[in-house]
Amino acid sequence: MKLIPKTAAIAVVMLCSSLLADAQKIKVQEGDIAVLKEQTEVNTEFTYEHVKVGDFDNEDDYIQKKTDEYNKKEAGKGDNLATAWKADRESRFAPRFNEMFTEGSNGIKAGNFPAAKYTLIFKTTFIEPGFNVGVMRKNSYINGEIWVVETADKSKVVAKVSVDRAPGRIAFGMDFDTGARITESYAMAGRSFGRYVRK
């Protein structure tokens, strides 16, 4: 069997990334995001109120089910999953969104900038965790809204943007960890919204 040339492999990865990007939708629901183009940095916040997960309308029910399932297989494994599920929000999801928004927007730094004129509040409404068991897999994706508000008075909403089906997966299927898949969903959402702002 002939090995795939390195350039061809890179092209395949780029094509897959392009297809994943096209699968999601970024749409301004109200207001105007043009004000962000003039900024060098934006503050970001992330909320997870009333988030639905997979087939579960209540996130806590999903966590409990997975905790019980994993603990039956290996003592303590489910407890670790439950802890990581919440911890990943600050340690993985937010940083990757900020990193890729900064890259996609061509230099508008996103992160903890309380002095920035505007704040992006990412309100996650749905998470599909997906799965990867080697022979079978399902990509993760997230839905949510990005509210652009004035940092000094967050009741002043400048724009509301919907994010639908931001997909997450790692190249060559090396995403057996649930947190890793979901992290890439936030990365994709950040990069796509950054590019949307840059247009």
Confidence band (pLDDT; 50, 70, 90) for 173? Answer: low
Confidence band (pLDDT; 50, 70, 90) for 134? Answer: low
User: H-helix or E-strand containing 112?
Assistant: none
Q: Where are the beta strands (DSSP E) in 95-152?
A: 109-111, 118-128, 131-132, 137-138, 140-150
Confidence band (pLDDT; 50, 70, 90) for 127? Answer: very high
How many C-beta neighbours within 10 Å does residue 114 have?
Answer: 8
Q: How many residues belong to the chain?
A: 199
What is the chain's mean pLDDT, rounded? Answer: 88
Q: Percentage of residues in the chain with pLDDT exceeding 90?
A: 76
**Spatial separation of the C-alpha atoms in residues 150 and 157, rounded to whole Å:** 7
Question: What is the pLDDT averaged over residues 139-150?
Answer: 96
**Spatial separation of the C-alpha atoms in residues 45 and 121, rounded to whole Å:** 5
